[in-house]
Structure 1
Amino acid sequence: MSPILICTGRNVLLPQHDVPVPATITVDILTGKITDIVPGYHTRDTYQQDHIHWVDAGDTTVLPGLVDAHVHLNEPGRTDWEGFHTGTKAATSGGVTTVVDMPLNSVPPTTTVEHLELKRTAAQGQCYSDVAFWGGVVPDNQVRSFRHYIQIVKGFTSMLQKHLKPLLSAGIKGFKCFLIESGVDEFPCVSKNDLELAMIELQNTSTVLLFHAELEVTNTSEATEATSSDPTLYSTFLQSRPQKLERDAVALITSLQEKYPVLRCHIVHLSASSALPIIRAAKSSGLNLTVETCFHYLCLSANEIPNGHPEFKCCPPVRESENQDLLWDALKKGLIDFVVSDHSPCVANLKKLDEGDIMSAWGGISTLGLGLSLLWTEGQKRGVTLAQIIKWTSSKTAEHAGLGHCKGKLQIGFDGDFVLWDPIAEFMVHSIVYIH
């Protein structure tokens, strides 16, 4: 008889309920799948079999494991920034049982099948959580032959590109691209023409194209409003990445979607509330567009960030509290679909902590494993329920990454990924440790 794990508790968050209820979950240990869920909190003597592994959650809340669909693990190549071992361990410490790794900042980036296999090999034997992978769209992995252009002109005839469809066949969950320089040389940004080539190729697939949605346009009025060149002032950095960059990028993406409406497009880490009207119009018109924001945009505000502290730098930037309120409103109304960490660590010298130089510091915030606690803390002030938070951090993120059939819910047939969580416990994050 196959060994089983049984978890019983008085507060189990099931997908058909808005609040936790007493329930008992059975997991087949060999397959890792949930085989049964019955109402009620049960005691050990209810089950007499010897092959049972028993978990009594008591009053602790039982949640589905979180799915963080935007994580930079950086291995191989920049494992000193973060790797599979440390990153997935941090994830599980905060209830994240699945992470989806971005195609950068590893060396090489995940832009070919060969590079994907290097990642998978590096991950072997190191992971505390499940790991899936995004692929990347960069200029170098587009076919640029004259014949290709002729085929496009003659009716957008599909031509198997060098790397995109092979990556899909190899199991990646979708593709990410940048509309502004990424910060690492090996992952350059794409042009509008690059995007058209990629969207033509991916149009008849079930994948998703992810956009770092900042579009740099020179001589914009907003970009020239900076009142200081002091690199230690947070305001200097904030004024260097105005909301207009995000608005222009979202406008470009939605205009391209009108030409290629079948392909789902996704805006990663939205920070600019001024882009919300464009998103609302796109969704209202039926475009297949999804949007994420991040824990730090919902829980930090520029008003509170001290000068000389590059640890708060990320791109796009944390903006003012009024902007934060509008992001929360959009999230609660479903205009923003879900929340991720965009965990993007680095080594200490790249953060310029001693100099306090925000402008030249690496742009990335490390929050992997803190998201559930952050959203619960801030969300309670805004009337948000636990069920809403799990929807934003588990079921919706699983669907986004093509894992909605097996992750993100405590449901029969799904993976038995569950978390024991105490909503009353408190802890203080004193600092994020950067390795020298």
Structure 2
Amino acid sequence: MEPGSVVSALRSQRILYGKEIQPACIIIKEGKIHSILPDSAASMNTAGEVLDMGNSLVMPGLVDCHVHVNEPGRTSWEGYWTATQAAAAGGVTTVVDMPLNSIPPTTTVENFQEKIYAATGKCFVDMAFWGGVIPGNQMELRPMLQAGVAGFKCFLIHSGVEEFPHVSDADLHAAMKELQGTDSVLLFHAEREVQDLVPEKGDPCQYSTFLRSRPDIMELEAIHTVTQLCLQYRVRCHIVHLSSAEPLELIRAARQAGAPLTVETTHHYLNLSAENIPVGATHFKCCPPIRNAGNQELLWSALKSGDIDMVVSDHSPCTPDLKCLDSGDFTKAWGGISSLQFGLSLFWTSAVKRGFSLSDTVRLLCKEPAQLCRLDNQKGSLIPGHDADFVIWDPEKEFTVKEEQIFHKNQMTPYIGLSLLGEVKSTIVRGRVVYSHGSFSSQPLGKHLLIQHKTHAIL
């Protein structure tokens, strides 16, 4: 399978169609899934060559709806070329880019146009974009929706960068009023400063010192605010990167009361635990923090019960100097973990041990993220009429994460040396091979996905 080639038909003994894995042949026309046929009927219905994947598993390409690409402005941290190659190597066919940490952030229509210009001709997979809510930009929200952003993100605590300030309650009410009558969604970094919280002083090189500075109560307080707003305005709300299991009861209660609320967690909260973070290993730092193993099991239970809707990478890279690896100071290091390339394997390695199926994997890594960003009419499922986006992989194959295999711009990740289950062989976007066995298409084949929203007058 040559990178860059056009695929008109794809056969495998293992195609995940609906909830079943079966021998089948996928017919592709003009970049879309035309039909999915029993393997025995393929030869009678295909005019061109059928690409035979043998026993490799074929399923929808992943939709990673939480990625910080950082271009323009911080391309030394990451960029579209490297981020989307890493995505393709990990079976991700659609990336949704966060409104920070690029400069300028995606908080106005003009800034959004600058972002699109920066991404043009550099994406190996398809790319959608989130807008941002910051103090005073509420009049930009509807114009940004009309321009095609997927929705908006805000912070209830300092974001880490000055050009994307966090919002007050008054800002939130102003934004919610603008978003009423739209089909948009507001994403929340759900941590809040808590009064009278004085963390014990400790060794800044010990992870426990950092963990004590961001306790569960900060997420609980923030999510209390989110659930109240969601019920008051009935605007879709989404909690990004839930790390603490403590707010789950609050989330369940809000949903039972009718709140249109969804929740994600990330690969690092499901795979890493506070007890196992070495002294000075600042590449494990992220916000909210990685918590203990008992908390992690509660997150897995919430995934199984449906209280958490999806799993994403929250790929948040930076340059090595910002991680303060020399000093090992967790209090000063940049918070963010790189995992875009390894999300499928990270998830599957841990999920299969807990009784999750491959169809659960599609639901949590493909279908639900596509639905969140209004892409479920074309992405995230093997359905005739949808884009011919596939990951072809071997769920039984083990491999070790090595630095030289990593396509992120900066190869810092806590997963180096880890043995993972599930190796990606090839990735196809809209019927074109963008990645195969370590090689990429010679030209970026991804396109920008501008979301068409239903927007009604504010009553």
Name the SS for the 2:8 alignment partner. Answer: strand
Q: 1:12 aligns with which of 10, 15, 22?
A: 15
Q: 1:4 to 1:390 in 2, by over 3 A?
A: closer
CA distance in 1, matches of 2:7, 2:391: 17
Q: Confirm or deny that 1:66 pairs with 2:62.
A: yes
Q: Are 2:367 and 1:395 equivalent residues in the alignment?
A: yes
Q: 313, 334, 354: which is aligned to 2:306?
A: 334
Q: State whether residues 273 and 292 of structure 2, in contact with CA within 8 Å, keep that contact through their aligned partners in structure 1.
A: yes
- Of residues 344, 354, 365 in structure 1, which corresponds to 2:316? 344
For the pair shown, which has the larger CA radius of gyration, 1 or 2? 1
Question: What is the root-mean-square deviation of aligned Cα atoms in Å?
Answer: 1.6
Contact preservation (8 Å) 2:266, 2:314: yes
What one-letter code is carried by the residue in structure 2 that aligns with 1:135?
G
AA of the residue aligned to 1:254? T
Structure 1 residue 229: Cα displacement: 2.4
Name whichever of 241-250 and 423-432 sits farther off: 423-432
| Structure 1 position 435, deviation (Å) | 6.8
Q: Return the alpha-carbon distance in structure 2 between the equivalents of residues 297 and 167 of structure 1.
A: 32
CA drift of 1:14 comes to 1.1
Shift of 1:357: 1.1
**Cα distance in structure 1, aligned partners of 2:21 and 2:96:** 27
Q: Does the CA contact (< 8 Å) of 1:8 and 1:41 recur in 2?
A: no
Cα shift at 1:257 = 2.0
Q: Does 1:176 align with 2:153?
A: yes
In structure 2, the partner of 1:131 is: 127
**Residue 24 of structure 2 corresponds to which residue in structure 1?**
23
Which residues in structure 2 correspond to 1:220-369 (within 5 Å)? 220=197, 223-224=198-199, 226=200, 228-261=201-234, 263-369=235-341
In structure 1, distance between residues paired with 2:7 and 2:83: 29
Q: 1:434 and 2:445 equivalent?
A: no
The number of residues matched between the two structures is 403
Deviation at residue 258 of structure 1 after TM alignment: 2.4
Could you tell me how far 1:248 is from its partner in structure 2?
Answer: 0.1
Distance 1:54 1:218, change over 3 A: same
> Normalising by structure 1, what TM-score?
0.90
* Structure 1 match to 2:421: none
* Residues 78 and 410, structure 2, Cα contact 8 Å, conserved in 1: no
Tell me if structure 2 keeps the 8 A contact 1:65–1:419: yes
Distance in structure 1 (CA, Å) of the matches to 2:375 and 2:130: 13
Contact 1:237 1:359 in 2 (8 A): yes
Contact 2:154 2:188 in 1 (8 A): yes
Q: Indicate conservation of the 8 Å contact 2:27/2:46, yes or no.
A: no
Deviates more, 1:19-28 or 1:294-303: 19-28
> Conserved in 2, the CA contact under 8 Å of 1:9 and 1:41?
no
Aligned equivalent of 1:56: 52
Give deviations 1:301-324, integer Å, cap 9, x for gaps.
111111100000000011000000
Q: How does 1:69-148 map to 2 (within 5 A)?
A: 69-142=65-138
Q: State, as a whole percentage, how many aligned pairs show the same letter.
A: 53
> Would you say 1:206 and 2:202 are equivalent positions?
no
Q: Which runs of 5+ in 1 are unaligned?
A: 143-160
SS of the residue 1:176 aligns to: strand
Matched residue SS, 2:398: coil
Q: Structure 1 residues 435 and 39, CA, compared in 2 at 3 Å: closer, same or farther?
A: closer
1:53 Cα deviation from its structure 2 partner: 4.7
Q: 1:38: Cα distance to partner?
A: 0.7
> How far did 1:386 drift?
1.0
Q: What 5-or-longer segments of structure 2 have no aligned partner?
A: 1-5, 413-459
